[in-house]
Amino acid sequence: MENRDLLVHLKSDVDAFSIKPRHLDRIREAFPGIRLVEATGREDFHLRLPDAVWLMTWVFRPEWYDKAPKLEAVFTPAAGHDWVTPDPSGRVKNFYGHFHGRIMRESLLAMMLYFNRRLAPASDNRKKKIWDRRIYDGASSLFSQQVLIVGYGAIGRQMAELLKAFGARITGVKRSTEGFENDPYAERVVTFDKLNEELPMADHVVLVLPGGPATDDLFTSQQFDRMKPGSYLYNLGRGNCYREDDLVRALINGPLAGAGLDVFHEEPLPTYSPLWNLPNVLITPHASAISREYLDLYIEEWIETVRNNLLT
């Protein structure tokens, strides 16, 4: 680890995604021999790139690998490959974040409780100074409900862990069920060909899917029409996986009672989108993983990643 260079360029207009002195201090504490350099901006980053051996960044384009002949590893907090493309030549190792579920599951829980506990009408009544306990007629509890998690990977399983603690019954959907026969959180894990069979049984359907052609328009009117009357949809993965027009129809005409949406096909969500005007839709601006602890979690994961993958 002695004399290992690490170039850090983690800046964002979201403060939680910008590295702080405490994070740099934690890296130095874990690896005293590291030569850590923080890029002051985009121009400085590109000037220092040719000498970088390790790099921690939000964005790295394919053509930049040729400009970094000494580069051995690129680290990014991002879970997906949207902004850091793997090295086409395979020369450089790429490492992505896997910690997001600890934050995102709380965002999902907040959305579920928002609908289950009737927080929207409660907020409206507060503004109008109306005391009406009847708005809670029909309110539901998670311990009596079935949750279908579509995209049962690392994030989906962390969500299931939390929801199971509330008593919810979990079904996971993923490409392969190998190794998930005795999953500690889901009652059962099924493959995508069983999705339409599971939809009518779920009170809450959670989408935690990656982007890309394989998940384009996975949910259309065919899937929405099969969902349980009064059920809810949540999307905290990527916005390409459902057709917005079909979702809007399902929210207006049924069977959906509501939707909690964090990601969209087009971001920012255009002002002309009908989703803005639907009273049974909760919208957050691709923010389900934003938390002041975000980079604290990432740095601890990064330290373990280095120890387990690059120092053995």
Active-site residues: which are they? 238, 267, 286
29 neighbors 59 (Cβ within 8 angstroms): no
- Is residue 185 left, alpha or beta, with left meaning phi > 0 and alpha meaning psi from -120 to 50? alpha
- In three-state secondary structure terms, 183 is coil
204-207 and 188-190: which strand pairing? unpaired
**CA within 13 Å, CB half, 235:** 26
For residues 36 and 56, give the distance between their C-alpha atoms in angstroms, rounded to a whole number: 10
109 neighbors 160 (Cβ within 8 angstroms): no
Q: Tally helices (H) and strands (E) across the chain.
A: 9, 12
